[in-house]
Amino acid sequence: MNNAIIQAHLDAIAALPVEELPLGPDSMPQPGVPRGVVTKHALTSTVFANTLERPYWIYIPAQLKPDTPAPYMVFQDGDGYQALDGDFRVPVVFDNLIARGEIPPLIGIFIQPGMIAPTTPGGKPEHNRSFEYDLITDQYVRFLAQDLLPAVAKLHPLSDKANDHAIAGCSSGGICAFTAAWFRPDLFSKVMSHVGSFADMRGGHDFPSLVRKNLPAKPIRVFLQGSSNDLDWEKGHWWLANLTMHAALVFAKYDVKTSWDAGRHSGKNGGAGLPESLRWLWRPSRAAPPVGPA
């Protein structure tokens, strides 16, 4: 397919009306459903040593026994994912799905990106988000392994099985989730990306080629949500990048599922589809094969 045909398809898609999907009942508190507890904490990173103390939140389901090592799911831009009035409302969705046995009783870990202290008197802290999320290296997953997960394990024991670990994010947080699993599939076997930035931010546009060339497939299950009215600017076309990423994952025979819609670059449609995507991501079928030493 030549560039003119591709552009004609993209122009036709861009002309479609924006569709923002509503939240369903699984995203609302339901009577009789046990509610988990969310607590706020903070940590200082050794991997990103130039960043300030950052907040994170922990969700513990009501059904989880105190001494039982638990499955867990890490969310980048964690404040937005754990907020009960936000697009995703993960604690409420977890409550409902865990109560019905559709996902295991798992811990939710919601971590914020770092901020760098001001370099001049009276200055404002600088965002470190793109450096942490968009760079295609193992630095962020090292932060998770060395700084965040040990801190969480002091609050509740964590399962050491990769099949019990998932990671999720939106936009740059979405590609960050895939990057973490790409470099450490022994640590994360499940990835959820909402409108992921698989574009030329800090090398993310190379991922489709990397996926195709690094065979056999890594033991990673991947859920991609994308929107046809997503960003289109000098660093790339976000929805086209997600389509290209999906094609590469299919070619390499990954366990992959997609959800495409006519939304914008936001968490609204990913949040509306979160319950169904969690059911798929945590389903027991097609368990990932074992991974050798890292």
**Within 13 Å, how many C-alpha atoms sit on residue 159's CB side?**
21
Q: Which of 289, 193, 291 is nearest to 245 (CA)?
A: 193
In this prediction the pTM is: 0.91
Considering the chain, what is the average pLDDT of its residues? 91
**Per-residue pLDDT tens over the stretch 46-89:** 999 999 999 999 999 999 988 899 999 999 999 999 999 999 99
Label residue 286 by pLDDT band (50, 70, 90). Answer: low
Place of tokens 């973490």: 180
What the chain holds in terms of domains, given with CATH numbers, is 37-116+125-281 (3.40.50.1820)
**What are 32-51's pLDDT values in tens digits?**
999 999 999 999 999 999 99
Closest-CA residue to 27 (of 270, 283, 280): 270
Taking only the tens place, the pLDDT of each residue in 84-116 is 999 999 999 999 999 999 999 999 999 999 999
Lowest model confidence (mean pLDDT) among 45-49, 265-269, 280-284, 287-291: 287-291
